[in-house]
């Protein structure tokens, strides 16, 4: 049953707060929101949605951002996708575009829409009066964020950081989804705005280990690069090459985070100033 808690509980006082949340498209599937509320929070404080890694440890990612929200004056909300509600990679990393059997799901069942609807709910409850929000995703969350942006969920996104993703939906219509953007209805014309949107890919220069349990090792993953750091560079390179072929610009950029490996805490710290600078730019109507 959906909780009767209101979203205003997330900002009841400075510090960490958590509550269960049910998205309208998935009324029987529990999410948990973990908020890091800054001192001096108000309706015009910028909002950042944080997407955790494969461990589904949203509280830990909230705690990483607790270290930065006062300095940046950002309300960070970590959206936890519990394994029992949104199982395995299809529901999370890949947005529930298809069933296990490869049958396409209707767009309203894609989990990529959850953040936008949560932002609407925050506005409706008076938690925020802002017009746009930021995105940060690490590891599996980095996969979620850049794939989400590839399918048009960009309208109110002021800044988006995908950090240390294990695999990418490469900007190539000849590579089938989810390792490319082929066979999902995108065309050269609909690919252009994806390339023109300013995605920031952050890559830890020490994120080169390949022995971890969750490192994607399948043949389609390995074609993207030997390790996560290399795959991030290839994603950006292919984006700029695709833009040149299509006669447009690629606004993607890569930021190397020196000396950091596959660390949610380390990448959150590196992203804080980048995200803050964008979210505190004046909003336009």
Q: What is the pLDDT of residues 114-149, one digit of tens each?
A: 999 999 999 999 999 999 999 999 999 999 999 999
- Tokens representing 235 are 């994603």
d(CA 15, CA 182): 43
What torsion, rounded to 10 degrees, do the Cα atoms 146, 259, 238, 103 define? -40
- Tokens representing 228 are 């996560």
Q: Could you say which DSSP state residue 99 is in?
A: -
User: How do the domains of the chain map onto residue ranges?
Assistant: 7-279
Stated pTM of the model: 0.96
Nearest Cα neighbor of 243 from 153, 171, 149, 152 is: 171
- Tokens representing 144 are 């979620």
From first to last of its 285 residues, the chain has per-residue pLDDT tens of: 344 469 999 999 999 999 999 999 999 999 999 999 999 999 999 999 999 999 999 999 999 999 999 999 999 999 999 999 999 999 999 999 999 998 999 999 999 999 999 999 999 999 999 999 999 999 999 999 999 999 999 999 999 999 999 999 999 999 999 999 999 999 999 999 999 999 999 999 999 999 989 999 999 999 999 999 999 999 999 999 999 999 999 999 999 999 999 999 999 999 999 999 999 998 765
d(CA 202, CA 270): 9
Residue 64 dihedral angles phi and psi, to the nearest 5°: -60, -40
pLDDT given for residue 2 in this prediction: 41
pLDDT given for residue 3 in this prediction: 46
CA angle 67, 213, 203 (to 5 degrees): 45
Q: Which residues contact 219 (CB under 8 A, 6 or more apart)?
A: none
pLDDT given for residue 284 in this prediction: 66
Cβ pair 25, 108 in contact under 8 A: yes
d(CA 82, CA 91): 10
Mention the CATH class of domain 7-279: alpha beta
Nearest Cα neighbor of 201 from 254, 262, 139 is: 254
pLDDT given for residue 283 in this prediction: 72
d(CA 148, CA 131): 19
d(CA 9, CA 119): 15
For 135-185, how does the pLDDT look when each residue is reduced to its tens digit (9 = 90+)?
Answer: 999 999 999 999 999 999 999 999 999 999 999 999 999 999 999 999 999
214 three-class SS: coil
d(CA 16, CA 77): 10
């Amino acid at each position: 049953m959906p909780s009767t808690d209101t979203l205003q509980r997330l900002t009841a006082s400075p510090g960490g707060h958590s509550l269960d949340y049910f998205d309208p498209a998935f009324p029987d599937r529990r999410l948990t929101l973990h908020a890091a509320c800054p001192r001096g929070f108000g309706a015009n404080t910028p909002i950042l949605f944080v997407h955790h890694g494969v461990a589904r440890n949203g509280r830990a990612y909230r705690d990483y951002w607790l270290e930065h929200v006062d300095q940046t004056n950002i309300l960070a909300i970590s959206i936890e996708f519990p394994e029992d509600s949104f199982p395995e990679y299809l529901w999370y990393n890949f947005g529930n575009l298809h069933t296990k059997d490869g049958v396409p799901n209707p767009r309203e069942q894609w989990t990529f829409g959850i953040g936008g609807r949560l932002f609407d709910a925050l506005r409706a409850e008076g938690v925020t009066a802002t017009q746009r929000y930021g995105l940060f995703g690490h590891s599996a969350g980095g996969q979620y964020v850049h794939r989400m942006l590839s399918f048009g969920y960009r309208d109110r996104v002021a800044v988006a950081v995908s950090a240390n993703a294990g695999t990418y939906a490469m900007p190539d219509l000849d590579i089938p989804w989810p390792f490319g953007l082929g066979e999902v209805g995108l065309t050269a014309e609909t690919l252009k705005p994806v390339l023109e949107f300013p995605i920031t890919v952050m890559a830890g220069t020490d994120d080169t280990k390949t022995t971890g349990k969750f490192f994607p090792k399948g043949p389609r993953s390995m074609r993207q690069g030997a390790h996560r750091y290399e795959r991030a560079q290839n994603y950006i390179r292919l984006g700029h090459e695709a833009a040149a072929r299509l006669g447009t610009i690629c606004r993607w950029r890569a930021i190397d985070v020196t000396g950091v490996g596959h660390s949610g805490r380390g990448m959150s710290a590196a992203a804080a100033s980048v995200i803050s600078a964008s979210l505190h730019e004046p909003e336009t109507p």
